[in-house]
Amino acid sequence: MILAVASGKGGTGKTTVSASLLSVWGKPVVGVDLDVEEPNLHLFVRPEIAGREKAFMEIPVADETKCTYCRQCSDLCQFKAISVLGEVLLTFPEMCHGCGGCISICPEGALSAGSRELGEISWGRAGKAGFLMGRLRVGEAMSPPLMRAVKEKLRGMTSHGAMDVIIDAPPGVSCPAINAVMDSDVILLVTEPTPFGLFDLKLARQAFTPLNKPMGVVVNRAGVGTSDVYDYCKGSGLAVIAEIPYDRSIAEAYARGSIIAETSSGFRDMFIEMAHKVRSMNGGSHGREEV
Amino acid sequence: MDARRFELVEIVVLSGKGGTGKTSLTAAFAHLSSNRVICDLDVDAPDLHLVLRPEKTKTEEFYSGHEARISAEKCNACGQCMEVCRFGAISEGIPCPTVNPLRCEGCKVCVELCPVRAIDFPEKHCGQWYVSKTRFGWMVHAQLFPGEENSGRLVALLRQKAKELAKKEGFDLILSDGSPGIGCPVISSLSGASLAVIVTEPTPSGHHDLERVTELCEHFRIPAGVIINKFDLNEDKTEQIESMCVKKGLHLLGRLPHDMAVTHAMVAGQTITEYQKHGISELVRQAWSNIEAAAMIRVA
């Protein structure tokens, strides 16, 4: 099964939950950090990195000697990545989404495939778990293309035998978050019982409901704020599958880089139970369509 | 101080890592400042309105990009669209292929290359944006519909509207709450800003993400300063972060302790500086005067 740990609001504890679940999972599992803008899972699971590679995306490279300035490429491009000004052909590689349209439509063969570096993919092992992450190049605006490259790598890692996957997703509810959770079997929404946590949980539920996947809620810092998050979950049929109590010692352990499930047997048991509940949410669906 | 401001100052509050306290601090700075337009540039998961409780005076629809839709009447099911789509957005269906709107990038390649021109390409309605009144004055904000592309275009539009409003009112400051991360919306909120105020926390994630967002500021040559929130969770880490800031020439704007009063203020719908006068609020006021001083350096 593939579990995506997502949130809406940032800083609610996605990485805390992902790292702890990986630590207690008890079955073959790969932890994948798909928060490629700000990947943090490695800071807690401290993997031994076995390999790394750069990821690239196709962009057009122009040969102006062949260009007849017919403008078919610039008329097609939806992202203002290529333009013809009089008798000058300009490309803006950082705007390109890599659709390949300009290259296929050019009647003169004046455009060919070049590449733009998206970032780096690295992989290895963290204890018994496999580990995979993407790290966006600073200055690169688009995270979904790198996320797709990480998922491609994941397909290779999980192709031999049964292997579960735990995805640490980016915050928010727009395209990067959707990209991270769209191929999962179960979605965990980590929230906190505050007005900000509740508002963003509502957005996350709205964004992810069309994906038709079982969703459960983990309330982190339980005890701060109000009971509104619980009332909302009850009223909208979202199951609260676990609560992590607010405790300054947890915040301090996190600040030292500890995995919460490894700080006491009580927390370990709590995450083991969370893992059981997640598996039972995946009831019925055995294989999976695609990663 | 105001006499030295001779251009519009734009201060953007960022963090890299989410949940470090951007919005709570932006709300407090809105309370502490005057003659400014407040702007929430986190159009994906905006929270500033929960504290500022804006009353909308203007609501506008936001359209951006297009999406492919295959017309079953015109389609001859040749399958070429599935082959040309680089985003895996088109899959086989009955009677004809279907487009998964969540995967469609809006690139128009399938539309152009369809031999029977069976693919429509309607504009996408992605969200709304608003001009509102708050107890602290004008606010410009937006809500992207959940699941939409997080458009740098909407962020750029909000900044444009905030500038127009500031000019009209004769204000010289725009105070913006940004998004987490370092991608498209953050780049769009940062380019050309006067000062990035980065709120971090002394944790491995906070430190790591701070380094990346400061690198982004360097990349776009935007002056940046740092506030360390919850500094007392790990004082060694706080010192490491501060020495990194000194080394990189970043402004040290303040240290704030971990204080539950910040959450209590949020629950009460108030900024921390409205909720209590003393304690952490005095430090927040000090941080705001440091920000003002840092932003003025750029202008003067």
Decide yes or no: CATH 3.20.110.20 for domain B68-121.
no
pLDDT tens for residues B68-121?
A: 999 999 999 999 999 999 999 999 998 899 999 989 999 999 999 999 999 999
Q: Edge-to-edge strand order for the sheet containing B137-144?
A: B55-66, B123-134, B137-144, B36-40, B173-177, B9-14, B195-200, B224-228, B251-255
pLDDT tens for residues B64-75?
A: 999 999 999 999
Query: Quick check: do B2-62+128-299 and B68-121 share a fold?
Result: no
**Is A100 part of the contact surface with chain B (CB cutoff 8 Å)?**
yes
Exposure b/e, B229-240, CB count within 10 A at least 16 = b: bbbbbbeebbee
pLDDT at B298 over 70: no
For residue A287, the model assigns a pLDDT of 41
Q: Do A225 and B87 touch (CB under 8 A)?
A: no
Q: What is the value of pTM for the model shown? A: 0.94
Query: pLDDT-derived band of residue B147, with 50, 70 and 90 as boundaries?
Result: confident
For residue A93, the model assigns a pLDDT of 95
Chain B residue whose CA is closest to A254? B203
- Exposed / middle / buried, residue B20 (Cβ in 10 Å: 0-12, 13-18, 19+): buried
Residues A69, A84 contacting (CB under 8 angstroms)? yes
pLDDT at A285 over 60: no
> Which residues of chain B lie closer than 8 angstroms to A142, CB-CB?
183-184
The fold of A2-55+119-281 is Rossmann fold (3.40.50)
What is each CA distance from B279 to A20, A213, B284, in whole angstroms? 35, 46, 9
Indicate the DSSP class of residue B222.
-
For residue B6, the model assigns a pLDDT of 54
The mean pLDDT of A79-89, rounded to a whole number, is 94
Return the SS3 of B204. Answer: helix
The mean pLDDT of B21-29, rounded to a whole number, is 98
Give the closest of B102, B108, B234 to A178, CB-based.
B102
Q: Do B183 and A141 touch (CB under 8 A)?
A: yes
- E-assigned strands of chain B? 9-14, 36-40, 55-66, 69-70, 90-91, 98-99, 119-120, 123-134, 137-144, 173-177, 195-200, 224-228, 251-255
The mean pLDDT of A187-191, rounded to a whole number, is 98
**What is the CB-side half-sphere exposure of residue A205 using CA atoms within 13 A?**
18
pLDDT at B3 over 70: no
How close does chain B come to A173, measured CA to CA in Å?
6
pLDDT tens for residues B158-178?
A: 999 999 999 999 999 999 999
Place domain B2-62+128-299 in its CATH homologous superfamily: P-loop containing nucleotide triphosphate hydrolases (3.40.50.300)
Decide yes or no: CATH 3.30.70.20 for domain A57-117.
yes
pLDDT at B2 over 70: no
Number of neighbouring beta carbons within 10 Å of residue A26:
12
Residues B97, B82 contacting (CB under 8 angstroms)? yes
pLDDT tens for residues B183-214?
A: 999 999 998 899 999 999 999 999 999 999 99
pLDDT tens for residues A47-59?
A: 999 999 999 999 9
**CA A18, CA A23: separation in Å to the nearest integer?**
9
pLDDT tens for residues B247-262?
A: 999 999 999 999 999 9
If you search the block for the tokens 């039972």, which residue do you land on?
A280
Which of these ranges, A25-39, A277-291, B19-33, B188-202, has the smallest mean pLDDT? A277-291
Residues B150, B43 contacting (CB under 8 angstroms)? yes
Nearest to B188 by CA among B212, B214, B220: B220
Number of neighbouring beta carbons within 10 Å of residue B112:
17
Q: Do A196 and B50 touch (CB under 8 A)?
A: yes
Which tokens in the block code for residue B175? 């105070």
Nearest to A18 by CA among A245, A144, A174, A189: A189
For residue B4, the model assigns a pLDDT of 44
The mean pLDDT of A232-256, rounded to a whole number, is 96
Which is higher by pLDDT, B23 or A287? B23
Chain B residue whose CA is closest to A98? B86
Q: State the amino acid at position B122 in one-letter form.
A: P
Could you tell me where in chain A the CATH 3.30.70.20 domains are found?
57-117
Which is higher by pLDDT, A197 or B3? A197
**CA B258, CA B21: separation in Å to the nearest integer?**
11
What is each CA distance from A272 to A27, A108, B226, B269, in whole angstroms? 12, 61, 38, 37
Which tokens in the block code for residue B117? 């021109």
Query: pLDDT-derived band of residue A160, with 50, 70 and 90 as boundaries?
Result: confident
How close does chain A come to B54, measured CA to CA in Å?
15
pLDDT tens for residues B30-83?
A: 999 999 999 999 999 999 999 999 999 999 999 999 999 999 999 999 999 999
pLDDT tens for residues A116-132?
A: 999 999 999 999 999 99
Contacts of B253 (CB under 8 A, 6+ apart): B197, B225, B226, B227, B287, B290, B291, B294
Indicate the DSSP class of residue A157.
H
**CA B206, CA B242: separation in Å to the nearest integer?**
13
DSSP alpha helices (H): ranges in chain A? 14-24, 41-45, 72-76, 101-105, 144-157, 175-181, 195-208, 228-236, 248-255, 265-281
